[in-house]
Amino acid sequence: MNLSRKIVLVIVSTFIALVFIVAATSDIILLHSFADLEKKVLRDNVSKVTNEIEESFPELEASAKNYTDRLRQGGAGQISRLKVDSLVAHRIDFIACYRADGVMVAAKAADFHGLRPLELTDDQRRTLGQAARYVIEQDGRKQWFGFVTLDGHVAQLALRPFEHGSVLVVGKYVDREELGRVSGLTGFQIDVRLVDDELPEDFSKARAELINGAESHAAAVDSSQIAGYALFRDIYDKPALLLKITEPRLIYKQGKASIIYIILALIISSAIFCAVMLFFIQGSVLKRLAALSSRVGDISRNRDISVRLDIRGEDELEELAGTINSMLDSLESAEQSLKESEERYRSLFERAPDAILVIGLEGEEAGKVVAANQAAAEQHGYSVEEICDKSIFDLNAPLTNAAAPDMIKEISAGAWITNEAWHVRKDGTQFPIEIHAGPVRIKGRNYILGFDRDITSRKLAEETDRIYLEQIRNLNNELARQAVELELANRELETFNYSVSHDLRGPLTRISGYCQLMLEEDSGVDPQARTYLTRIYESSCWLDEMIDAMLKLTQLVRSEFSQEPADLSAICQEQLDSLIHADPGRSVELTVAPGIAVLGDKSLLKILMANLISNAWKYSSRTAQARIEFGVMTDGPAPVYFVRDNGTGFDMKDVDRLFRVFTRLHDPTQFSGSGIGLATAQRIVSRHGGRIWAEGNVGRGATFFFTLAPDVRPVEM
């Protein structure tokens, strides 16, 4: 099927689908709207008929009032003497009077349509009496009106209070004549059925819906008629009468006719539109498209991509022709690029520094070297022509030939492999190579493309590295042995420290004790001897302190290290509070930066801050307006924490002596101490991976800076 027929088929199919959619939409929407309108009009007509029937109640009420006024003078007995003409004049079928106990006093009946007298049956009298008694029980002074069923006939009643609590009942039957009168006034076909009778199906459906509370009911009888239904309730407010009116479906028929006109108009306009579109497409598109197709076919058959299309017109066909011309330009350029690429790859193949071999996998070429570059020929000591006459098994060493079938099988399965192998040169010498080979397909045949690299130098380097690694392994073993020996030496040193400290404590304790006893005695001791004893006692106490400090320093170095979040600000404040409590009379200006949090060993950090804060507190004790500050600087790669005071300070030429064990820069008589506090601080900082340093001036105070590892940052607590 050519394009013209396809376009015609698409347009006609679209037209048919459009007509079908419009028809279905019209049937669903328009006919539904006409049906709703029809039912609404029908409900209005039902209301007109019911209103016309119910308009008889005011007439009955007027007749009841008229008779009540006339009978009050002569009593209820006059009812029996009434003539038929009186009932005919009032358009009523009967009149009766009942006492308060429901007993009939008098009654008169007639067929006012036929102008003939009638008698009320006993059932009719009892039914009317029940209605009168019901009215009296409800409210004997109120006028009532409504429907009641009398021997299978529906009657309209008007009940009016009379003398001594009695009730006057006036009524007429809703009979054929009455319905004919209403039908003549309204112009509708009317049918009335009792609710309790056996009803046709349409009446039964209407009764069920109306009893459930619907105001009216409408249903189509057939395609030409529609019926509406209404329910009348009796004087007891119970369903009594079903009314049905039937009328032609004029609105629905008009709606169907309108839809048919619309569809016909759509068919005609669509047919015209299709014809115009086909004429336009044939002239403006299909002919030009056929010419374009013919031109492209000529190019394809002649395989001449230098020819260009010439389609005029400012539309999509011109753009298509331009696109095809651009594609032809691209093809021509690609063909030229392909030729250049082939030349480049040929040059790359020939000049590649690594050996490249193409080996056959099928037929007579299986295992043969189909192509090789100059590097492959030189690597094996052949010319290119000579190596192309060889088989890959001729180039492999015997050990490699044993594994070659497995490698060829793996490559044939589609895998690229990288292996080490041994090849043989023309002179018979073997050399190691690294093979990277995989499958390629050239002109419908399968081959192996292999890249071979001479790895003799690498093998020599690997052997050299192996020797070096063996030497390094031996050195590591030696270092490990020395580390074990160092560990044993440290343990022996620690044992020696404990032993020396404990051995020294006994004599020191005795010396200091005897000196103290001699100093406390009042016996005559030479003043010079007392001076000597005092110095001996103080020196022994100092030596005891040194032993304690040395033990603490040893324990600090050997203690277990664990990292956890710590608040340096809180630790610093705690140390200051302790110092203030111990010396409450001293006035010092304290500044502690809040929220300085770090990661570290909390117990060691407490010792660190205790040494630095105590040091600042001690050396600022002789300053009139002493100041101590703790803070942090964050402008560098890692936070730098500091403790600053404005105390005695020190000379920067002695800064290297600050952190030595038992080294002091000030006279012990001026400032007490063991000379181990800053050494302890340095070891704690070192265990955290940081560093500590100090800056100071004599008489202007000192600042101690420290970090806690280069990569530590303040953390959230």
Tens-digit pLDDT profile for residues 87-125: 888 888 899 888 877 788 888 888 877 778 888 888 888
604: which residues sit within 8 A by CB, 6+ positions away? 556, 559, 561, 684, 687, 688
Condensed to tens digits (0 to 9), the pLDDT of residues 289-326 reads 777 777 777 777 777 777 777 766 666 667 777 787 78
DSSP summary character for residue 234 = B
One domain for residues 85 and 233 = yes
pLDDT of residue 713: 46
One domain for residues 697 and 654 = yes
205: containing domain: 52-248
Indicate whether 497 pLDDT > 70.
Answer: no
Which tops the pLDDT comparison, 599 or 195? 599
Check if the beta carbon of residue 64 is closer than 8 Å to that of residue 159: yes
Which tops the pLDDT comparison, 36 or 449? 449
Q: 248, 270, 289: which is the final residue of a domain?
A: 248
One domain for residues 618 and 477 = no
Q: Which of 47-51, 322-326, 374-378, 469-473 has the lowest mean pLDDT?
A: 322-326
Q: What is the mean pLDDT of residues 15-20?
A: 73
One domain for residues 424 and 469 = no
Provide the CATH number for the domain around residue 533. Answer: 1.10.287
One domain for residues 411 and 529 = no
Tokens of 84: 């038929």
Condensed to tens digits (0 to 9), the pLDDT of residues 512-522 reads 777 877 777 75
Q: Which of 194-198, 224-228, 559-563, 578-582 has the lowest mean pLDDT?
A: 559-563
Check if the beta carbon of residue 387 is closer than 8 Å to that of residue 369: yes
| % of the chain exceeding 70 in pLDDT | 85
> Do strands 588-592 and 626-633 pair parallel, antiparallel, or not at all (unpaired)?
parallel
> What is the C-alpha separation between 542 and 516, in angstroms, rounded?
14
Residue 308 placed within a domain:
no
Provide the CATH number for the domain around residue 61. Answer: 3.30.450
**Average pLDDT across the chain, whole number:** 80
Q: What is the mean pLDDT of residues 545-557?
A: 61
DSSP summary character for residue 428 = S
pLDDT of residue 704: 93
Q: What is the mean pLDDT of residues 189-193?
A: 84
Nearest to 278 by CA among 72, 14, 587: 14
CA 585 to centroid of chain Cα atoms: 66
Terminal-to-terminal C-alpha distance of the chain: 81
Q: What is the mean pLDDT of residues 483-498?
A: 68
pLDDT of residue 569: 93
Indicate whether 434 pLDDT > 80.
Answer: yes
pLDDT of residue 567: 93
One domain for residues 551 and 670 = no
Element containing residue 125 per DSSP (H, E): helix 122-139
Residue 300 placed within a domain:
no
One domain for residues 645 and 661 = yes
| % of the chain exceeding 90 in pLDDT | 6
One domain for residues 582 and 696 = yes
One domain for residues 547 and 596 = no
Nearest to 401 by CA among 430, 374, 427, 377: 430
One domain for residues 77 and 195 = yes
Check if the beta carbon of residue 385 is closer than 8 Å to that of residue 419: no
Q: How confident is the model at residue 717 (pLDDT cuts 50, 70, 90)?
A: very low
pLDDT of residue 631: 94
Q: What is the mean pLDDT of residues 435-449?
A: 88
Cα dist from 663 to 358, 423, 497, whole Å: 81, 74, 19
> What is the C-alpha separation between 79 and 88, in angstroms, rounded?
14
One domain for residues 124 and 162 = yes
Residue 673 placed within a domain:
yes
Cα dist from 637 to 642, 688, 704, 708, whole Å: 16, 17, 19, 12
The amino acid at residue 455 is I
Tokens of 546: 């040194």
pLDDT of residue 712: 43
Looking at the 3D structure of the chain, how many domains does it have?
Answer: 4
Residue 421 placed within a domain:
yes
> What is the C-alpha separation between 455 and 445, in angstroms, rounded?
31
pLDDT of residue 662: 54
One domain for residues 149 and 239 = yes
366: which residues sit within 8 A by CB, 6+ positions away? 360
Indicate whether 197 pLDDT > 50.
Answer: yes
What is the CB neighbour count within 10 angstroms for residue 620?
Answer: 22
Q: 398, 425, 453: which is the final residue of a domain?
A: 453
Q: Which of 30-44, 395-409, 423-437 has the lowest mean pLDDT?
A: 30-44
Q: What is the mean pLDDT of residues 229-234?
A: 86
Condensed to tens digits (0 to 9), the pLDDT of residues 355-369 reads 888 998 888 888 898
Based on the number of CB atoms within 10 Å of its own CB, is 347 exposed (0-12), middle (13-18) or buried (19 or more)? exposed
Nearest to 93 by CA among 163, 164, 169, 183: 169
Residue 646 placed within a domain:
yes
Helix, strand or coil, per DSSP, at residue 127: helix
Provide the CATH number for the domain around residue 619. Answer: 3.30.565.10
> What is the C-alpha separation between 526 and 532, in angstroms, rounded?
10
